[in-house]
Amino acid sequence: MIHRRLFTVLIVLFAPLTAAAEDAIVAVAANFLTTAEKLAGRYEAESGHRITIVHGATGQIYAQIRNGAPYDIFLAADTLRPAKLAEEGRSADRATYAIGQLSLIGKTAVDLAEPKEAFIGKTVALADPTVAPYGLAATSSMESLGLDTATFRSVLVSDVGQVASIYATGNADFAFVATSLLDLLDPAFAASMDRRHPPIRQDGVLLTRGANNPAATGFWGYLFTDAARQVIAASGYGVPE
Amino acid sequence: MSVWPAIWLTLQLAVVTTVILLAIALPLAWWLARTKSPIRPFVEAITALPLVLPPTVLGFYLLVFMSPEAPLGAFVLKVTGETLTFSFTGLVIASLVYSLPFAVQPLQTAFMGIGRETIESARTLGASPRDAFLNVALPLARRGFLTSAILTFAHTIGEFGVVLMVGGNIPGRTRVISIEIFTAVETLDYATAHTLSAGLLIFSFTVLTLVYFGNRQGVARVG
């Protein structure tokens, strides 16, 4: 933590020396896309640098980085992949930037105390637990709700962005999505799955590729400022202490 | 979100791929049309593979070959400082493989349609093999050449799975039209998805109509 603060201070100190506009590519987990776009827009206006946002499932982006994808920063939906990248020597800095929250949404209301009936014969969309941390949280939530997965049809897709699109196109009755996507979806029913799954700590990595790129280090520092934390909190996330 | 970077990138990719692929396909199709070599069926099968293989298989192997941890990818990274994967160059290589049959097959059919006798007559009249190819075979096969070019161009424009696996989804660098549509659908931006999808639909329909129109004229002229 102290390391990160120091880093941020250094960036702020040296910012005037790096006035030339630079580009950085930031890969973000699908759940954080709209929030990252907001943050990037504000950062671009402040700094004059350009941020390109790329999105996908956390596991997919991790594999892409292993295969040479030119990303400077990776905002993951878990702590596992960032830790792996650090082990592999690809991380210049690493910290938790948000705590993800999952919601159950649906076309009809569900009594969370007795949800089994409402799900019978329905189609439920969730992210694939093997590549998407929100999928893992969704399976934990289903267990916590005491749902019997044999009584309804589960549709697994690669990330929460696709879950949202399946629900929005009318192809699912219920869906487990990131709370940050609720504004976009405006569902008839929504319930927070808070405490029904282990907290989704979302770690970011300043990749070694971006360590000497002022646009990347600048955005990395900006992510942990109070202004950025307010944007993150207002978008449906917890923020780390 | 602006759709122009994706459209521009897609056009660049399709033009570069078409030019390079025709240069490869011309000698290959000529050889395939005329050779009596026993390895011809194997070469033909390899050429046709991208037609039947899922894009994921092509994408997977290309990802493995071009990865900075593989010899080819490492070499390119050393020389240019850029990785092959997730770059425009990588997309071009992937498109060359993916669109190969669309370039070779119409040309091969056209060359085969010319017939051995025509070329042999030219040779008897004193034309060198090079002359016979450039001044007799090529002009006669021009319709096949045009079909190859148009189909290669159109097929590259419609590429999706291979690009996603090899190039990812980087705006301005690897985000082609089909991936822009995918992104638009995922982010519930249906206006963009509709615009681009309708655009591709009209484009593809026009291209195919032109190809079939051309074919039909060809038949009329021969008759």
Residue B219 has a pLDDT of 46
Please report the pLDDT score of residue B223 as a whole number: 30
- Check B186 against A162: CB less than 8 A apart: yes
Residue tagged 């994706």 (tokens): B6
Grade residue A130 by pLDDT with cuts at 50, 70 and 90.
confident
Q: How confident is the model at residue B119 (pLDDT cuts 50, 70, 90)?
A: confident
Residues on chain A touching B86 (C-beta within 8 angstroms)? 64, 67-70
Query: What was the pLDDT predicted at B129?
Result: 83
pLDDT interval class at A122 (50, 70, 90): very high
Chain A CB contacts of B87 under 8 Å are 70
Six token digits for residue B116: 């051995």
- Residue appearing with tokens 């955005």: A219
Q: What is the DSSP letter of A209?
A: G
Phi, psi of A109 (to 5 degrees): -70, 150
**B87 with A70: Cβ contact below 8 A:** yes
pLDDT confidence band for A6 (50 / 70 / 90): low
Residues of B with CB under 8 A from a CB of A: 63, 66-68, 73, 77, 82-87, 168-173, 183, 185-188
Mean pLDDT over A118-124 rounds to 93
Report CB contact under 8 Å: A70, B170.
yes
Segment B192-200 shows an average pLDDT of 95
DSSP bridge pairs for B149: none
What is chain A's mean pLDDT, rounded?
A: 90
Residues A102-116: tens digit of each pLDDT: 999 999 999 999 999
Checking if the pLDDT of B12 tops 60, the result is: yes
Contact B169 A161 (CB under 8 A): no
Pick the range with the lowest mean pLDDT from B22-36, B46-60, B151-165, B179-193: B179-193
- pLDDT for A110 equals 92
CA distances from B86 to A175, A221, A227, B172, B174 (A): 32, 26, 33, 11, 7
Residues of chain A with Cβ-Cβ distance to B172 below 8 Å are 52
Strand order from edge to edge, sheet including A73-75 = A50-56, A23-29, A73-75, A200-207, A91-100
pLDDT of residue B83: 85
Tokens representing B113 are 């349609």
Residue listed under structure tokens 């360590």: A211
The amino acid that residue B102 corresponds to is F
**Minimal CA–CA distance to A24: which of A225, A229, A207, A228?**
A207
Q: How many Å apart are CA A200 and CA B167, to the nearest integer?
A: 29
Judged by CB atoms closer than 8 Å, whether chains meet at A25 and B170 is answered as: yes
Core vs surface per residue B53-91: b (16+ CB within 10 A) or e: eebeebbeebbeebbbebeebbebbeeeebbbbbbbebb
How far apart, in whole angstroms, are the C-alpha atoms of residue B169 and residue B101? 26
Chain A residues within 8 angstroms (CB to CB) of chain B: 25, 30, 33-34, 52-56, 64, 67-70, 161-162, 164-165, 168, 184-185
Q: Is the Cβ pair B63, A67 closer than 8 Å?
A: yes
| Closest CA in chain A for residue B65 | A67
Strand intervals (E) in chain A: 23-29, 50-56, 73-75, 91-100, 102-106, 123-127, 153-157, 174-178, 189-192, 200-207
Instruction: State percent of chain A over pLDDT 70.
Output: 92
Sort A88 into a burial class: Cβ within 10 Å, 0-12 / 13-18 / 19+: exposed
B169: which chain A residues are within 8 Å (Cβ-Cβ)?
54-56
* C-beta separation of A96 from A201 below 8 A: yes
Distance CA B216, CA B62 (A): 38
Q: Which of B77, B85, B188 sits opposite A69 (nearest CB)?
A: B85
Per residue in B38-95, pLDDT tens? Answer: 999 999 999 999 999 999 999 999 999 998 888 998 898 888 888 899 999 999 999 9
pLDDT at B77: 86
How far apart, in whole angstroms, are the C-alpha atoms of residue B40 and residue B8? Answer: 38
Residue of B nearest to A51 (CA): B171
Span A204-219, pLDDT tens digits: 999 999 999 999 999 9
pLDDT at A132: 85
Mean pLDDT, range A69-79, rounded to an integer: 95
Q: In Å, how far is B66's CA from the nearest CA of chain A?
A: 8
Query: Nearest CA to CA, how far is B103 from chain A (Å)?
Result: 30
- Whether the CB-CB separation of B51 and B97 falls below 8 Å is answered with no
> What confidence tier does B220 reach under pLDDT thresholds 50, 70, 90?
very low
B81 to A68, B92, B116, B163: CA distances (angstroms): 11, 18, 49, 21
Query: With contacts defined as CB-CB under 8 Å, which chain B residues touch A184?
Result: 188
Is residue A46 within 8 A of residue B166, CB to CB? The reply is: no
Q: Is the ipTM of this complex over 0.85?
A: no
Which residue out of B166, B169, B194 would a mutagenesis test of the A interface target, given it has the greatest number of A Cβ atoms within 10 Å? Answer: B169
User: Position A52: which residue type?
Assistant: T
Q: Which residue of A has its CA nearest to B187?
A: A161
| pLDDT recorded at residue A7 | 57
The reported pLDDT for the residue numbered B81 is 83
Query: Are residues A157 and A129 in contact, defined by beta-carbon separation less than 8 angstroms?
Result: no
Yes or no, beta carbons of A165 and B186 under 8 Å apart: yes
Calculate helix-pair angle for A160-168, B177-186, nearest 10 degrees. Answer: 70
Between these two residues, B96 and B184, which has the higher pLDDT value?
B96
Asked if A25 and B85 come within 8 Å (Cβ–Cβ), the reply is: no
What residues contact residue B61 under an 8 Å CB cut-off, 6+ apart?
none
Q: How confident is the model over B191-215, as a mean pLDDT?
A: 91
pLDDT of B222 strictly over 60: no
The average confidence (pLDDT) of chain B is 90
- Chain A: give the shortest CA distance to residue B214, in Å: 40
Contact partners, residue A188, CB within 8 Å, separation at least 6: A106, A107, A108, A109
| Distance of residue A142 Cα from the nearest chain B Cα, in angstroms | 24
Reported confidence tier of residue A16, pLDDT bands at 50, 70, 90: very low
The predicted structure's pLDDT at residue A18 = 44
Closest C-alpha among B114, B102, B100 to residue B142: B114
The alpha carbon of residue A239 is apart from the nearest alpha carbon of chain B, in Å, by: 24
Alpha helix segments (H runs only) across B53-141: 55-66, 71-80, 88-114, 116-124, 129-131, 138-140
Q: Residues B163, B91: contact at Cβ < 8 Å?
A: yes
Nearest to A214 by CA among A70, A46, A11, A7: A11
